[in-house]
Amino acid sequence: MADTDPPGGGAGPDADATVDPDEASEGDASTESAAPGAVIVPVEPTSTLRSTVAHVAETAAADGAPAIHLVEIASWRNGDPESDERAAAAERVLERVTAWATADLDDSEAPGAADVEVVTTVLGADDYLFGADDYVRVLAEYAEANGADRVVLDPEYTPVGNTTLLQPLEFALSNTPLSVETAPVDRPTRRERFRTEATTGRFVALFGLSLAFYLLLGDPTYWFDVVTGVASAAVVSITLSRVSLDSNPAFPRTPMRIVRGLVYVPVLLFEIVKANLVVARVILDPRLPIEPTMNRMRVIVGRGLPLMTLANSITLTPGTLTVRARDSDLYVHSLVPWAREGLFDGSLERWTRFVYYGRRSARLPTPRERDDVAILQGADATEELPIAAADGGAIDGERDAADDDSAVDAGDASDEGENDPEVTDR
């Protein structure tokens, strides 16, 4: 007869293998929670992209990550002029990095290398992405949908090309559950953050503008002013042509913008005079209200020079002062209700779009019609006044307006076929 242990008797091999069901389920949950997630790598052509892909393939194989997601965040919107060409260029980049990652995984000696899947996609092509918060939003949504828990950044990566992000992408990602890492690869050269590629077109354009401005202030018929103007314009062009312009002048886009800008100058002067009279009357008449408030307005003019033009135009108009431009949001202080209402009616925004994108763009809905405005102070406040972190952190509630996709749909439109942020009617 085979020996058997009495109940509660000594431990044998079978007893050692016995595991409490609760402990087993806890152990399984612990093991499952510890399993690595997929890795996301935003890509664009850089001098360190190849090394970044190699690093990610090596670490993903070693860690047992299920997949590497190579994604390109679109700096265009589907349906925009030249969007098909830019999407095709992005696909070519993704095909190249896919080949790199696949080859690196095939060469890897890590046991899990063969199980790592390589996935590529383009993100954000159906939206108009303005800055770091928008880029992080689409990355976080994609990560949640695909079981990714880590983002590896190419040290030379910048999703908006030559435009400097108002908030570092790494900082914005740190406010999400994703783990963020910059690939530890060597940089052949350090990218100059505020400088762009030097081109003849930019040099000539800045030289012409500088010389014209100099002669406007002086006497274009006096030889000394002409000589000194040429010298000054040359110095300005040599030192600032890689800083002042973020794109190459093009025909007929640039001449048309200059012509429309000349049309805008008297309009802006009229708005300044009109605002001066209104503010002066309010100051001189104690019966009229002075209601200083902080306001938020989400504008659709694009980034860079158009946004700067609008922000400075608002500041030049008495009664309003742009205190901060963050992505597509302008935070504007208004002195009197009339100035605030004029701001929300979007006259300056329409004219700015006209200057840069043409007449069709000027007919787009105003910020008030899009419901892209908010009063942040006073009895009429519609949103709480956000408190921005001193280091450029996220602003509470700042993205609420952006979450309503039915309210704002940015696109491109112009009568010359230029890129233009566009808003759809409700």
CA within 13 Å, CB half, 179: 10
Q: For 224-252, what is the mean pLDDT? A: 83
Please write the tens of the pLDDT for every residue from 131-153.
677 788 888 899 999 989 889 98
Q: Which range scores top for mean pLDDT: 42-46, 107-111, 223-227?
A: 223-227
Chosen CATH of 35-182 out of 3.40.50.1000, 3.40.50.620, 3.20.20.140, 2.60.40.10: 3.40.50.620
Q: For 193-218, what is the mean pLDDT? A: 79
Q: For 382-394, what is the mean pLDDT? A: 54
Identify the DSSP state of 127: S
Residue 186 φ then ψ, to 5°: -75, 140
Distance CA 392, CA 326 (A): 10
Which pTM does this prediction carry? Answer: 0.50
As a whole number of Å, the end-to-end CA separation of the chain is: 86
Report whether pLDDT(291) > 70: yes
More confident position, 5 or 307: 307
Please write the tens of the pLDDT for every residue from 311-327.
999 999 999 999 988 76
Please write the tens of the pLDDT for every residue from 8-39.
444 444 444 444 444 444 444 444 445 678 99
- Average of per-residue pLDDT values in the chain: 77
Distance CA 124, CA 80 (A): 13
- Contact in structure between 360 and 414 (CB atoms under 8 Å): yes
The pLDDT of residue 263 is: 92
Report whether pLDDT(292) > 50: yes
Q: For 36-46, what is the mean pLDDT? A: 87
Report whether pLDDT(211) > 80: yes
Give the residue carrying structure tokens 């406040």: 381
| Nearest alpha-carbon partner for 206 in 228, 329, 214, 289 | 214
- Contact in structure between 293 and 403 (CB atoms under 8 Å): no
- CA distances to 40, 52, 144, 179 from 149, rounded to whole Å, are 8, 18, 8, 6
Distance CA 295, CA 345 (A): 13
Provide the angle, in degrees to the nearest 10, between the axes of the packed helices 305-316 and 347-357: 140
The pLDDT of residue 230 is: 93
More confident position, 97 or 326: 97
Distance CA 423, CA 367 (A): 10
Q: Where are the domains of the chain?
A: 35-182, 197-245, 263-426
Question: Cβ of 404: how many Cβ atoms within 10 Å?
Answer: 11
Distance CA 425, CA 406 (A): 9
Q: Which range scores top for mean pLDDT: 8-17, 171-180, 229-238, 398-407?
A: 229-238
Q: For 349-363, what is the mean pLDDT? A: 85
**Residues ≥6 apart with Cβ < 8 Å to 307:** 299, 301, 325, 328
Q: For 28-52, what is the mean pLDDT? A: 75
| Nearest alpha-carbon partner for 68 in 78, 76, 56 | 56
| Nearest alpha-carbon partner for 349 in 264, 418, 259 | 264
Question: Cβ of 229: how many Cβ atoms within 10 Å?
Answer: 22
The pLDDT of residue 82 is: 67
Provide Rg for the chain, Cα atoms.
29
Task: Give the distance from CA 190 to its chain's centroid.
Answer: 22
Identify the DSSP state of 386: P
- For residue 194, give both structure tokens: 């505020």
